[in-house]
Amino acid sequence: MSKTGYYFLIFIGAFMGAVLWRFYSAERVELPKGETTTEIVMIDDNSSQNGEIENTSMDGGDPSLQKQVEKEIMVTDGERHTIPLDEIRRGCPGKDCILSIDAPEFESTKSAESWLDDAAPGIVFSKGDTNRFYAYDILISHEIVNDTIDGQRVLISYCPLCLTAVVFDPIVEGERVEFGVSGLLWESNLIMYDRKTQDNFWSQVLGEVVLGPLAGTKLPLLPSDQVLFGNWKKKFPNGEVLSSKFLRGGGGNPYAETHFDVSNTALSFADPTDTRLPFDDHVFGILEGGKAKAYRVESVRDKGTVRDEFQGLTIELRHEKKLDVVRMFEILPEGGERRINPLSGFWFSWSEAHPGTELYK
């Protein structure tokens, strides 16, 4: 073996050792044990939060849209939680076993064409004159991007097992803060932790603390779309793309054939039972007044526009042809409309998180 080859093997060995050390030395989250009691509390409901980030108060939502709903909180060994602890699974050893991107860098759409084809999916977010594309090929290895736009933090989150791509306003106790991957899963879905309190654990699909002192507290959702790169770059040729420097292993989905296929791994962590739709159907889900409803995205694409009444709201879903995305709006009684930011993901994920959910097929 040449000296160059010898040094290369040393480098690879050291690199893999560092990765494994980071993976297995992650801070392990221990779940409480013991007798469980329950209590009923009132919480602010930000689950169908409307509007842009500028309209979101530091208390956790647009005050004009605030509603309170009853929430059952369980308490085990002094720890508050909103889901049964035996449903929480360990996806990897501990906190930050999957590393979030905390100092994101971006490149031009022209530059990104060298490694992203037009059919590459991602989540997109716009604020003011800034339009950004976060490719799933990158997010699958990081799951969280702690981004800042115009001096204001936003939380980009992606769970590859559930196709849940969500942008949150990351307000915790009056401050916008960083989030990380906890290593835990619930119904196959990402559980995050916030780096301010360190001991509150947030379900992505619920957008709320499911374990910790702030149990039941919700994060406001911000408007975003799941879109293909080719469609997005046509509308935003001067947009910004999360840099390929964060790409790991060439991208792709290690769990399934494509990003849009449900994997056996995902199903093994969830054991779904609601077969009203195929498990891999893409749905929009909303909560209103403590009630849940899902809308099959492909049905809206086929019809172009769907109008529905739910919990006293008039809701309209529209297929935006140029981007090939579906968007949801509340039609206001006095005229006008306001965008609703639904939870977008696989049917199995939404139906497991919200058993008995209403469904528009």
CA-to-CA distance for 332 and 47, rounded, in angstroms? 18
CA-to-CA distance for 307 and 320, rounded, in angstroms? 15
Cross-sheet strand order for the sheet of 337-340: 305-310, 313-320, 325-331, 337-340
A 10 A CB-CB count for 338 gives: 13
Residue entry with tokens 């932790």: 193
CA-to-CA distance for 358 and 87, rounded, in angstroms? 23
Q: What is the average pLDDT across 170-181?
A: 97
CA-to-CA distance for 62 and 50, rounded, in angstroms? 8
Q: What is the average pLDDT across 279-288?
A: 96
Please report the pLDDT score of residue 21 as a whole number. 44
Between 27-36, 43-52, 131-140, the lowest mean confidence (pLDDT) is in: 43-52
Q: What is the average pLDDT across 6-19?
A: 43
Confirm if 75 and 162 have CB atoms less than 8 A apart. Answer: no
Tokens standing for residue 331 = 């039609």
φ/ψ of 215, rounded to 5, equals -45, 130
Element (H, E) at 169: none
φ/ψ of 178, rounded to 5, equals -75, 150
**Mapping DSSP to helix (H, G, I), strand (E, B) and coil, where does residue 137 land?**
helix
Least Cα distance to 136 among 159, 102, 169 occurs for: 159
Please report the pLDDT score of residue 16 as a whole number. 43
Q: End-to-end CA distance of the chain, in Å?
A: 62
Tell me which of 49 and 300 has the higher pLDDT: 300
- pLDDT tens per residue, range 209-249: 999 999 999 999 999 999 999 999 999 999 999 999 999 98
Tokens standing for residue 41 = 């509390």
Q: What is the average pLDDT across 92-111?
A: 97
pLDDT bracket for residue 29 (50, 70, 90): confident
pLDDT bracket for residue 70 (50, 70, 90): confident
Q: What is the dihedral of CA 235, 123, 240, 174, to 10 degrees?
A: 120
Answer whether residue 360 shows pLDDT above 80: yes
Mean pLDDT of all residues in the chain? 89
Q: Which pairing describes strands 291-296 and 358-360: parallel, antiparallel, or unpaired?
A: parallel
- pLDDT tens per residue, range 302-343: 999 999 999 999 999 999 999 999 999 999 999 999 999 999
Please report the pLDDT score of residue 35 as a whole number. 86
Answer whether residue 24 shows pLDDT above 70: no
Please report the pLDDT score of residue 62 as a whole number. 53
Q: What is the average pLDDT across 42-62?
A: 56
- pLDDT tens per residue, range 182-208: 999 999 999 999 999 999 999 999 999
Please report the pLDDT score of residue 28 as a whole number. 83
Answer whether residue 54 shows pLDDT above 90: no
A 10 A CB-CB count for 342 gives: 26
Q: Return the bridge partners of 42, or none.
A: 70
Confirm if 328 and 342 have CB atoms less than 8 A apart. Answer: yes
The alpha helices in 188-304, defined as continuous H runs, are 229-235, 264-270, 297-303
Q: What is the average pLDDT across 24-46?
A: 79
Confirm if 340 and 332 have CB atoms less than 8 A apart. Answer: no
Amino acid at 296: R
Please report the pLDDT score of residue 41 as a whole number. 81
Please report the pLDDT score of residue 52 as a whole number. 59
- Cα-Cα-Cα-Cα dihedral sign, residues 156, 154, 131, 349: positive
